Every structure is written in C-alpha cells, then in structure tokens.
Amino acid sequence: MEADKQKTLRLLKTARGQMDGLVKMVEEDRYCIDISNQIMATQAILRRVNSEILQEHLGHCVVEAFEKGEQREKIEEIMSVMDKLTK
C-alpha cells in the first residue's frame, strides 16, 4: 500500500471509535437523528480513506502496470471497484 499509512490508520481508528460510539448510542436509545448524523460522519471518513487509497493505487500500481504492459487486468480491477462505488 502506497498511501500514507499513518494517516490511513489514524482515520480508520477514528472511524472505529465512531462505530463504538454508535453501538453505545443505540444501546442507550439515543435520539434517531443524532445516531443518523454519527453514521454519516463515519461514512464520510471511510469514503475519504477509500478515495485516498484509490488515488494512490491509480498513481502507483496502475501506472506501473501500464508501464509493464499489464493494463487490461488493472482496468478490469478499477472497473469492478467503480461498479461497487456506484451501487
């Protein structure tokens, strides 16, 4: 993985903490809108991390594959990820 590992780990740990908070909020029967807002905040962090990882993948792994003439596999891989992102 070429992405900034420390930054990625920090963001993922933040998301994990938010998930733990969500579990506690549900257990405590907190206000639905507060829970929903926390869910959206967690999703935003995960989207950000995923975007950064995919950018690094495109900038390194995909470029390297194209230089080696292995573009078809990487194109199919990226198309699969894009398909998942649009669902």
At 3 the pLDDT is 62
Domains in the chain, start-ordered, CATH in brackets?
5-85 (1.20.58.1000)
Q: How far is CA 26 from CA 13, 36, 57, 58, in A?
A: 20, 11, 36, 38
Cα separation, 4 vs 30, whole angstroms: 35
Cα separation, 84 vs 23, whole angstroms: 26
At 87 the pLDDT is 86
50: pLDDT strictly greater than 70: yes
At 52 the pLDDT is 93
> Tokens 């969500």 label which residue?
22
The CA dihedral of 14, 20, 26, 32, to the nearest 10 degrees, is 0
**pLDDT above 90 coverage of the chain, percent:** 77
